[in-house]
Chains A and B, each alone.
Chain A
Amino acid sequence: MTSERFAALAEKYMDTIYRLAYSCTRSTADADDVTQEVLIHLYREEKDFQSDEHVKNWLMKVTINQCRMLFRSPWRKAEPIDDYAETLQMENEDQVELFTLVMGLEKKYRVVIHLFYYEGYSVKEISELLKIPEKTVRTRLFRARAKLKNILTEEVSDND
Chain B
Amino acid sequence: MTDRERIQAAFSHLHASPEDLTEVMKMTRENRTRMKLATRRIVTTGLAAVMLLGAGIAGYAIGNSFHNRQQEQLRAKYHVEENPTNDFTEFSLPEEASDGRGMTLLSSFHTGDDLKVYVDVSPVEPEEVENCFRFDSQLSDEGWRFLSYDFDIDGVHPIYGTAQIYSPDSEYAVERERVEETEEDVRQRYLREAYDAETKTLTLLCHLFTEDLPEDGSIELHVYSSDNFVPNSETYECISEIHHDFGTVSVPITSPEVKTLLFSEPKALKDETGTMQAEITGIELSSGSISWLANIQDAESIFGRFEGDDTELAAYQQTKIEWIYFLRDATADAELIFADGHTVACGGINGEHDAENGSVHLVRNLPDNVNIHDVKAISIFGETYCFDEADGK
Contact = CB atoms under 8 A, between A and B. Distances in A.
Interface of A: 10-11, 14-15, 17-19, 22-23, 31-33, 35-37, 39-40, 43-44, 69-70, 72-74, 88-91, 94-96, 98-99, 101-102, 104-106, 108, 113-114, 117-118, 120, 130-133, 135-136, 138-139, 142-143, 145-147, 149, 152-154
Contacts of A98: 6-7, 10
Given A73-B40, A117-B4, A147-B356, A132 B15 contact: no
A117 B20 contact: no
Nearest to A72: B44
Given A18-B16, A136-B255, A106 B24 contact: no
B216 A132 contact: yes
Contact of A91 (B4, B9, B19): B9
Contact of A149 (B19, B260, B295): B295
Contacts of B53: none
B257 interface: yes
Query: Looking at B2, B3, B10, B359, which has the most chain A CB atoms within 10 Å of its CB?
Result: B10
Interface in B254-300: 255, 257-258, 260, 262, 266, 281-282, 284, 293, 295
Contact of A39 (B13, B24, B356, B359): B24
Interface string B329-346: 000000000000000000
Contacts of A101: 357
Contacts of A37: 34, 37
A33 B27 CA distance: 13
B37 A33 contact: yes
Given A10-B21, A33-B36, A118 B357 contact: no
Contacts of B2: 154
B11 interface: yes
23 contacts: A18-B15, A32-B17, A33-B37, A39-B21, A40-B34, A44-B28, A89-B13, A94-B6, A95-B6, A102-B7, A104-B357, A117-B7, A118-B8, A120-B4, A130-B215, A142-B260, A142-B284, A143-B284, A143-B293, A146-B262, A146-B282, A147-B357, A149-B281
B20 A39 contact: yes
A114 B152 CA distance: 32
Contacts of A145: 262
Contacts of A135: 255, 257-258
Contacts of B284: 139, 142-143
A83 B266 CA distance: 33
Nearest to A98: B10
Given A32-B20, A142-B262, A154-B3, A40 B13 contact: no
A59 to B, nearest CB: 12
